[in-house]
Structure 1
């Protein structure tokens, strides 16, 4: 079901605040949207930037504190600023003050389709980007890595980009929204896979082929600080952002990296936004190509990436990885029985020769030009199956 508009209030020449009733959240939720100055002058369509707030803030923060309206004044971009409370842009596994809040399902499954069906957007991956600060930096990179079919660019400002290190941070967020420490992804000791399934550092390989920017400060007082004391919060996210930067570099994934003195505060995030917008605008004008071949890692029982579909049974949280996937074949690593469907890469109803490890067989593409595979992976521990495809 789609969300329903409860109210609409015009706050400025370009700024409109909406309240939506979300079937997923089972309650109203608010968001702000900045429209391009030329939105009402013609019938052109525009790309969309989803701009995410940090913890202890809400959907109003970027316009009230971060200068988002001024920074985007001349850009032909729709800026959507949704709410997420302290929910870490995730579906909670335990209830808090607002129940088992399903922020990811709302943002990805309801909000993005609603925006595309309601406004004149360029409703395609190449015309969607994410950016956010702190918790929102986590959200931007996590959403981009978990849903690469939807976004082609992501930026993090002082982001919590590796929850493997400072595991107490999501617990603080959960408690501030009335939940127990493990309300978001479960207790870390017994649910490490679920934590890693959302963690940008663990999912970094999925960001290949995207325009990426990572900006942070060190926590030492900088030029925009009146208080000359060090900031331990920014020091923590600097360490997380640095680890994420090094992870991207090790994987050979290009990105913009910036750091310098400064604290966990709005004067720096306003600068981050202003200096990152040209990078995102360039990505909209000249989108990066979809990676080929495709590699995607996930701990979900089923997932999609660039038209490839993977479903693993039994259905539980465990990592699998699709690697080197193109029209010539792919590899899949994991445990259990996997069902893999290719994109429409082949001539419809054409017979293809297939080699699965050392076994040769033939498969016929369906009417859409896709092939379906049923593969036995490792039984007790992860194993890899290699598939090669040719045309008969």
Structure 2
């Protein structure tokens, strides 16, 4: 049926108004349906037990709409920042959710507590998050979901404290991760000795400099060899971590370590990270496509 035109018809004004109102309503319903389809990925919260810290720790797991145990998928571990929790990315960083379907991946958002920095604290036995992620969380995910349980199908990234954590864990565990990223990462926290509970986890810099030196990402570049780990690092040009990210970039160049390094206008906030995660997940999807995972 052709669309009704009021150009040459004598139709009462009220009828015209109702027609256009109905047309707008139909357009709105179509848009709402499209949004529902876009956000078709499945989100669930799981509880994992950490033996090393003797406590339950939550994580969000996002699977594609077509997820089935018949097909093994790559996994991206997505870490939150200081002051955040496992729920941050699905409440404030929602832009990644449609990409779970687009790239056919599983995303895991673990809880890293406030100020864990994702290493094993030598000062506090309740903050052993390197061991938790690498020896407890990953085996849990691989045993409960249809994952490619191999470095070729496993990536990790995060924002701020989580950016540090993603690079820290991937540099130190290249047997577990094939691709890693960082968004606005605190990749060298030595210039900030009084911030973000770092002194609580490592002791003060004045009294425990060795703890700081061996646990900051910029000092772990020596663990890498060219092409041993696929890397993407980005930071906003107005970010307070901008300088340390540039220094990490220079250090990687000096050691001939291939990596993508992106600087865009932006600060240390969610608008920047919602944009940044688009590039991070594309980069990781390209890595997964090129590799030949062990199934």
TM > 0.5: yes
The one of 226, 229, 233 aligned to 1:210: 229
CA distance in 1, matches of 2:149, 2:264: 36
Please say if residues 40 and 101 of structure 2, whose CA atoms lie closer than 8 Å, have aligned partners that are also in contact.
no
Equivalent residue for 1:249? 253
When the two structures are superposed, what TM-score results if normalisation uses the length of structure 1? Answer: 0.61
Q: Deviations over 1:203-227 (max 9, x none)?
A: 11323321111110121xxxxxxxx
Shift in CA distance, 168/12, structure 1 to aligned 2, threshold 3 Å = farther
- 1:94 touches 1:100 (CA, 8 Å); kept in 2? no
1-structure distance, mates of 2:144, 2:220: 31
Corresponding position of 1:48: 75
Name 2:31's counterpart in structure 1.
Answer: none
- Specify the alignment match of 1:77 in structure 2: 105
Corresponding position of 2:117: 88
Task: Give the number of the structure whose residues are more often strand, by fraction.
Answer: 1
Query: Which protein has the bigger helix share?
Result: 2
Equivalent residue for 1:29, pick from 57, 61, 68: 57
The equivalent of 2:86 in structure 1 is 59
Counterpart Cα distance in 2 of 1:32 and 1:203: 29
Aligned partner of 1:145 in structure 2 is 171
More contact order relative to length (CA 8 Å, sep ≥ 6): 2
Aligned-pair CA distance for 1:23: 1.8
User: Match for residue 207 of structure 2?
Assistant: 190
The alpha carbon displacement at 1:35 in A equals 0.8
- Cα contact 1:148–1:206 (8 A) shared by 2: no
Partners of 1:115 and 1:49 in 2: how far apart?
11
Which among 283, 288, 291 is matched to residue 284 of structure 1?
288
Cα contact 1:88–1:173 (8 A) shared by 2? no
* TM-score, structure 2 as length reference: 0.80
SS in structure 2 opposite 1:168? coil
In the other structure, the counterpart of 1:228 is none
Q: What's the RMSD between the two structures over aligned residues?
A: 2.0
* Correspondence for 2:134: 108
Task: Evaluate the alpha carbon distance shift between residue 285 and residue 264 of structure 1 in structure 2; reply closer, same or farther with a 3 A threshold.
Answer: same
Which position in structure 2 is the counterpart of 1:260?
A: 264
Where in structure 2 are there 5+ consecutive unaligned residues? 1-38
Larger Rg: 2
3-state SS, counterpart of residue 188 of structure 2: coil
**Runs of 4 or more off by more than 6 Å in structure 1?**
none
For residues 112 and 147 of structure 1, the distance between their equivalents in structure 2, rounded to whole angstroms, comes to 12
Q: How many correspondences in the alignment? A: 251
Distance between the aligned counterparts of 1:165 and 1:256, measured in 2?
24
Distance 1:72 1:173 in 2: 33
Local SS of the residue matching 2:200: coil
Query: Which structure 1 segments of 5+ residues have no match?
Result: 1-10, 175-181, 220-233, 290-392
